[in-house]
Amino acid sequence: MENASKALIIAGAILIALLLVGIGVLLISSGTDITSRGTSGMQSQNIQSFNSSFTAYEGYKKGSELKNLQSAVTSSNATDATHQVDLYLKSGMTNAAGKQIKTLSDLTSSETYTVTLSYAEKDSGNTAVSGGIKIAGSGNAKDKTEQGYVYAILISK
């Protein structure tokens, strides 16, 4: 009888130890999951914050609204080496005076232009800027940025 009661006590202690180990593993794995979700959320906020500098220019804009776009790209590239942005003008565009547009200062203030942003994605081609004239940036921003970030801006008519 005495041995049976000791065996039950030992078995109970083993079960309690296993329960405590299981709870410890559960807590550690849920803590890791919370940390990864927090990191993912922060990355998403960083992407939105970075892209917001350029999304204000996206769509149909007057030439007068685009004058500051080049300085925004240059400033961003100077302060953030890991996320570079290139700025392109569609080749062959002419302004109201018939002059070929090669810089933002050649844009006619009253004309409407289309601004297209390209976002980095895994294994995507650089199709949005093909045929464009680079006016700001390194020309290889796509290779220097992460998924979700703006890497190229194209201005066209």
Q: What is the rounded average pLDDT of the residues 118-139?
A: 58
According to the model, what pLDDT value does residue 126 have?
Answer: 47
Question: Within 13 Å of residue 85, how many CA atoms lie on the same side as its CB?
Answer: 29
Q: What is the dihedral of CA 135, 137, 68, 129, to 10 degrees?
A: 60
- Stretch 119-148: mean pLDDT: 58
Question: What does the pLDDT look like over 67-86, one tens digit per residue?
Answer: 788 888 888 888 877 788 88
**pLDDT tens, residue by residue, 40-65:** 556 778 888 888 888 888 889 888 88
Dihedral angle at the C-alpha atoms of 97, 113, 109, 73, nearest 10 degrees? Answer: -120
Residue 109 has pLDDT above 60, yes or no: yes
Q: Is the pLDDT score of 146 beyond 70?
A: no
Domain boundaries, the chain: 1-55, 58-156
What average pLDDT does range 80-102 have in this prediction?
81
Q: What pTM value is reported for the model?
A: 0.63
Q: Which of 60, 83, 89, 87 is nearest to 71 (CA)?
A: 87
